[in-house]
Amino acid sequence: MAREKIYQEEEFPSPFLQLWQIFRQTPVAMIGFGCSIFLIVLAIFSPILTPHSAIESNLDMLLLPPSWDDSGNISFLLGTDELGRDMLSRLMSGASLTFGLSFVVVVISLIIGVLIGSLSALTTGIKASFLNHFLDVILSIPSLLLAIIIVAILGPGLSNTLWAIVMVLIPQFVHITRNAVKEEFVKDYVLASRLDGASSLRILRYSVFPNIIEKIISQATLAQSAAILDIAALGFLGLGAPIPLPEWGAMLKSGIDLFYIAPWAVYLPGLAILFSVVATNLVGEGIRHSLKLHKES
Amino acid sequence: MLIFTLRRLNLFFFTMLLLTILSFSLSFLFPGNALINVSGQINASPEQLILLSESYQSESSIVTQYISYLKHVLSGDLGLSMSSQTPINVEIADLLPATIELSMVALLLAMAIGIPLGFIAAIKHNKSADSLILSIAMIGYSVPVFWLGLLAILIFSIIFPWLPSAGQISLLFEIKHITGIQLIDILLSDNIYKWQAFQNASAHIILPACVVAMAPGTIFIRLARSSMLEVLETSYIRAASAKGLTFNQIIFHHAIRNSLVKIIRHVGLQFANLVTLAMITEVIFSWPGIGRWLIDSIYQRDYTAIQSGLLVLSCFIFIVHILTDFIYAALNPLARDSKHA
């Protein structure tokens, strides 16, 4: 039996829930959201879902074209590469490397960046001015160039690439958190809780964070699309994931040599990268759009 | 304007200080001996090493070491490349103009195509043309540059053999190195085949420049669209239409100028993005620029080259950044009084 409402209680959804209600009404953003969920599921369950092994080669089935081609084979839906590895399985496990790892990278740098940013928003004076200039300098160096330099220090490899991208993304989160927190701190409701005797950290936790979380998430989607492109670019340059791993950028690189005979080994990984970046950007656009509507309402 | 200039100069010195400290500390962070990393002399004899350590003062405190490193950089001595043992400043002077050429052509292309498209989208706000342009912008912004480069080669040089796929100019032409920027060098030279060479060089630059311009161009679309929308909502536009000006007059005489000023402010930031894209594109199109050289030196573990390449490239980006700031301030009096540097 459904519980009846006895009291005339008015519901006040949190700012985040209000945003979600607006976000739900834009169909394009929901498509992007659905695609992102699909990619996350794929990233987690790809070891169970793949029809063939992503790494083992199959010498009888070298360079099969996709199955819609006349000489294709239906059990290898998207064809095979130069070592007979199934493209579909490689693309699916690539989702957990390129998309899944970029997600992890963004979450790690978000946590560190928000911590540093909110602490630095509470400081003033010469320390804050130094940090501001320092962030400006770091942000003026392109992210990929910085990632390449950090990889050069740490040495090539997948885990080093990930740490490099984490370090590159942190300043962006510090910057946005710092500005957002400073903006909120001069508002009246913060003053009210300060008059109630709340400490700065408590105000940060209970008053400011619920109001700036959507800005941080919107920055996180930007960071996510940059992270996917950077992981793939480093893989393509041969500085990221080592050869047998089915990382999309590295797959693209290994497909170049057979570009003229087997173009599907190049355009399929590229399409996969494009798909995941577009999905992420659609979600980001949706969030920014609903933020704007929310502000106007 | 004077205070603005002083603020910018202050920012410039601070940034240069940080960049040189960063590049100086790289020689300690890279594996191996810091002295050899900074000088690049891998085959130095013990006597030469003593001389080197005197010139870089590697026995003294870290501050003295940094100052002597700064003296070396300011006098143009960036050390030797570990892999080729040639002075790095000579190599960079050869390669940097090619990158400048590619990125400038790409920047012009991105602005020439992106900004008008953005204006059209803003004028047709919330109509089908607007959403079409926005969806193109979304895809162009998301496409990975290395994949786009490969597809461009596949379509425009292999399936339809219209444009060359690699290099800066055909080897048949010999162009004297004057400014280093090929298209200008050709026009300056007194070769009888000048125009053929110019055509050949332009055919070589079209594909890579288009590939580099793709993502920044789509960002310019979005910037132009939002700044035009902002301008169209201001009161002076309403006043102009109240005076009875036609829509075209308003757009061409009032709206475009004011929204262009807002876009120029973002050119500097986009330029940093564009140079990164140019680095990857140089690898694909075998463009003899500094990006390809830098990535090659990572493969070869040429730490001296990485260190100096980073310094030169980020200085170049930062100088362009400051220049666009000055242009913006010269065009927009409001920006000169802003409080933050």
User: Who among A140, A256, A263 is closest to B317 (CB)?
Assistant: A140
Max Cα separation, chain A? 76
Which residues does chain B have within 8 Å of residue A237's beta carbon, measured at their own beta carbons?
280, 283, 295
The residue among A31, A35, A148 with the most chain B CBs within 10 A of its CB, best to mutate, is A148
Closest CA to B38 of B13, B12, B64, B68: B68
Residue A88 reports pLDDT greater than 70: yes
Res. A141: pLDDT tops 80: no
Residue B340's pLDDT is: 47
Cα B321 from Cα B90, distance rounded (Å): 25
ipTM over 0.90 threshold: no
**pLDDT over threshold 70, residue A183:** yes
User: What's the predicted TM-score (pTM) here?
Assistant: 0.87
Q: Please tell me the predicted confidence (pLDDT) of residue B221.
A: 93
Is residue B92 within 8 A of residue B312, CB to CB? The reply is: yes
**Which residue reads 């400490």 in tokens?**
A199
pLDDT tier, A83 (very low <50, low <70, confident <90, very high otherwise): confident
Nearest to B5 by CA among B263, B322, B267, B261: B322
Q: Say whether residue A153 is in contact with chain B using an 8 A CB cutoff.
A: yes
Which of B143, B276, B299 lies nearest to residue A274, judging by beta carbons? B143
Q: What angle do CA B63, B16, B288 make, to 5 degrees?
A: 115
Mean pLDDT rounded to a whole number for chain A: 85
Chain A segment 261-280 residues within 8 A of B by beta carbon are 263, 266-267, 269-270, 273-274, 277-278
Residues B212, B274: contact at Cβ < 8 Å? Answer: yes
Distances (CA, A) of B68 to B55, B62, B65, B310: 7, 10, 5, 19
- pLDDT value of position A25: 87
Q: Is A152 in Cβ contact with B154 (below 8 Å)?
A: no
**What is residue B87's three-state secondary structure?**
strand
Q: What is the distance between the terminal CA atoms of chain B, rounded to a whole angstrom?
A: 13
Domain ranges of chain A: 79-296
Cα distance between residue A128 and residue A131, in whole Å: 5
Lowest mean pLDDT among A48-52, A56-60, B258-262, B309-313: A56-60
Min Cα distance B315 → chain A (Å) is: 9
Mutate to test the interface with A, among B130, B273, B276 (most CBs of A within 10 A): B276
pLDDT of residue A3: 60
The full 3-state SS of chain A, as one line of letters, equals CCCCCCCCCCCCCCHHHHHHHHHCCCHHHHHHHHHHHHHHHHHHHHHHHCCCCCCCCCHHHCCCCCCCCCCCCCCCCCCECCCCCEHHHHHHHHHHHHHHHHHHHHHHHHHHHHHHHHHHHHCCCHHHHHHHHHHHHHHHCCHHHHHHHHHHHHCCCHHHHHHHHHHHHHHHHHHHHHHHHHHHHCCHHHHHHHHCCCCHHHHHHHHHHHHHHHHHHHHHHHHHHHHHHHHHHHHHCCCCCCCCCCCHHHHHHHHHHHCCCCCHHHHHHHHHHHHHHHHHHHHHHHHHHHHHHHHHC
Give the chain A residue whose CA is nearest to the CA of B315. A141
Closest residue to A137, CB basis, from B19, B151, B269: B19
Alpha carbons B52 and B46: distance in angstroms, whole number? 10
Position A220 scores a pLDDT of 93
Tokens of B161: 């053999």
CB-closest option in B154, B280, B310 to A149: B310
Contacts of A106 (CB under 8 A, 6+ apart): A169, A220, A223, A224, A227
Q: How far is B34 from chain A (nearest CA, A)?
A: 13
Distances from the Cα of A57 to the Cα of A53, A87, A94, A257, B93, angstroms: 8, 11, 16, 18, 47
Instruction: Give CA–CA dist A21/A13, Å, rounded.
Output: 10
Residue A209 to residue B62: CA distance in whole angstroms: 42
> Which of A156, A233, A285 comes nearest B144 by C-beta?
A233
Q: Do A273 and B147 touch (CB under 8 A)?
A: yes
CB contact (8 A) between residue A274 and residue B303: no
Low-confidence ranges of chain B (pLDDT < 70): 337-341
To the nearest 10 degrees (0 to 180), the angle between helices A126-140 and B2-29 is 70
Q: What is the pLDDT of residue B341?
A: 41
Of B12, B141, B147, which to mutate for an interface test with A (greatest number of A Cβ within 10 Å)? B147
CA angle B175-B177-B182, nearest 5°?
65
Nearest Cα to Cα of residue B113 among B215, B258, B261, B232: B215
**CA-based nearest distance B76→chain A, Å:** 22
Of the candidates B141, B269, B294, the beta carbon closest to that of A281 is on B141
A33 pLDDT tier (thresholds 50, 70, 90): very high
CATH architecture of A79-296: Orthogonal Bundle (1.10)
Percent of chain A with pLDDT over 70: 97
Q: Do A148 and B139 touch (CB under 8 A)?
A: no
CA distances from A14 to A11, A180, A193, A206, A293 (A): 10, 18, 18, 12, 16
Task: Tell me if A149 and B317 make a contact (CB, 8 A cut-off).
Answer: no
Q: Is A227 on the interface with B (CB under 8 A)?
A: no
Is there a contact between B91 and B74 (Cβ–Cβ < 8 Å)? Answer: no
Interface residues of B toward A, Cβ cutoff 8 Å, are 11, 14-15, 18-19, 26, 29-31, 138-139, 141-147, 150-151, 154, 158, 269, 272-273, 275-276, 279-280, 283, 294-295, 298-299, 303, 306, 310, 313-314, 317-318, 321
In this predicted structure, the answer to whether residue A170 has a pLDDT above a threshold of 70 is: yes
Q: Which of A136, A145, A263 sits opposite B313 (nearest CB)?
A: A145
A273 → closest Cβ in B144, B283, B294: B144
Nearest to A142 among B138, B142, B276 (CB): B276
Q: How confident is the model at residue A223 (pLDDT cuts 50, 70, 90)?
A: very high
CB contact under 8 A, B142 and A281: yes
Sorted by sequence, the CB contacts under 8 Å of residue A240 that are 6+ apart come out as: A151, A156, A157, A158, A161, A231, A234, A247, A249, A250
What's residue A5's pLDDT?
65
Q: What is the DSSP letter of B84?
A: T
* CA within 13 Å, CB half, B318: 24
Q: What angle, rounded to 10 degrees, do the helices at A143-154 and B2-29 form?
A: 20
CB pairs under 8 A between A and B: 106
CA torsion, points B303, B306, B309, B314, in degrees to nearest 10?
A: -130
